[in-house]
Amino acid sequence: MRVLWFVLYEKDRDILINDEISKDKLFEGTNYFERYTMVKRNLDYKNLLFYGVMGRAENYDSVIWFIDNVMDELLR
C-alpha cells in the first residue's frame, strides 16, 4: 500500500519533510475553490468572519493583532 500525504500549506509540507517523510509522498494543494463573484454584497451588514484554525499560533496571533490594531478603526 502506498501512503500519500496531502497538505494545504507549504509550512505543513516542510514539517513533514523535517520528520523524514519523503517529498515524493507529499502533495500540496487546495481541496476546493469557491467563486463568490456573483454574490451581491450588503454593505449595511456589519459582521466580520476570520477563517482559520485557532490552534495554529499564526492564526491566533493574527486575530489578536487585528483586534489590537484595526478593530477600533472599524467601529468608528
pLDDT digits (tens, 9 = 90+) for 40-75: 777 776 677 777 788 888 888 999 999 999 988 887
- pLDDT top residue among 5 and 63: 63
Look up the pTM and report it. Answer: 0.46
Q: Is the pLDDT of residue 16 over 60?
A: yes
Q: Annotate 11-58 with DSSP letters as a single string.
A: HHHHHHHHTT--GGGEEE--S-----TTPPP-TT-------S-TTSHH
pLDDT tier, 31 (very low <50, low <70, confident <90, very high otherwise): low
Average pLDDT over residues 6-33: 82
User: Is 1's pLDDT higher than 60?
Assistant: no
